[in-house]
Amino acid sequence: MDILKTIRERRSIRSFKKHEVDHDILEQIFTYGSFAPTHYMKESWRIKMYQEDGKKFFIDAVMASYQRIGMVKDNNEPKTLQMIKSMKEFLMNIPHHAVIYFEREEDPIRYEEEYASVSAFIQNCQLAAWEYGVGMLWTITPYMHDAEFLRDIGLDGERMKIVGVLQIGYPEVISRNKGRTPIDEKLEIIKS
Ligand SMILES: Cc1cc2nc3c(=O)[nH]c(=O)nc-3n(C[C@H](O)[C@H](O)[C@H](O)COP(=O)(O)O)c2cc1C
């Protein structure tokens, strides 16, 4: 294992093979994720994993939210129904959807600490997954801010914050490495 190589080579995956990732491997991935830094050792990350038949429930909640917030029309016109069908199929073909969330902190500094820590957890998961040949896409979408969506999946939006939804599976297509801007362009060293 070469962590530096993994950091450089990991790619966001947007096209997955259909078969699922074994539970043991997913458990390993999330275990590595949980070695993320966590202030006061709060380990705030929580995961709701939707797979197999569980995906249907999740995807119905997603589509209902898209309609509520106007991303998808809410009518029975053939064009709308076709669009909903295609979106559902697309989402159903992704083997796992993991909602990553934490309990909100009232204090804004504590809130940022937890948000940052859960983000580090997600990136650790992405890197660990890559080591197992598993791909992920970290997504942030408008339904994460729809209180009714949270209620539909059993979360109280007043108390819980979703940091991201991870699409997970074995990569079908790995996109090219777009590289990164030389860090010199972003790095300012102040010596005196
Ligand atoms: C917080 C966050 C949210 C993201 N949301 C999306 C998303 O909703 N859809 C998507 O296609 N990619 C999403 N991405 C992935 C980025 O597009 C991706 O990291 C970027 O294109 C660089 O590609 P790479 O991860 O393969 O290096 C997200 C990344 C982050 C960090």
- The whole-number average pLDDT for the span 90-111 is 98
Q: Which atom of ligand 1 is nearest to the CA of 123?
A: 31
Phi, psi of 71 (to 5 degrees): -75, -25
pLDDT tens digits, 35-66: 999 999 999 999 999 999 999 999 999 999 99
Report the separation in Å between the CA atom of 12 and the middle of ligand 1, taken as the mean of its atom positions. Answer: 6
pLDDT bin (cut points 50, 70, 90) of residue 5 is: very high
- The whole-number average pLDDT for the span 139-150 is 97
Q: Domain 14-174's class? A: alpha beta
According to DSSP H, which parts of the chain are helical? 3-9, 23-33, 54-68, 78-92, 108-131, 147-152
> Nearest C-alpha to atom 21 of ligand 1 is from which residue?
12
> Nearest C-alpha to atom 7 of ligand 1 is from which residue?
139
> Nearest C-alpha to atom 17 of ligand 1 is from which residue?
12
177 C-beta closer than 6 A to ligand 1: no
pLDDT bin (cut points 50, 70, 90) of residue 1 is: low
Q: What are the extents of the domains in the chain?
A: 14-174
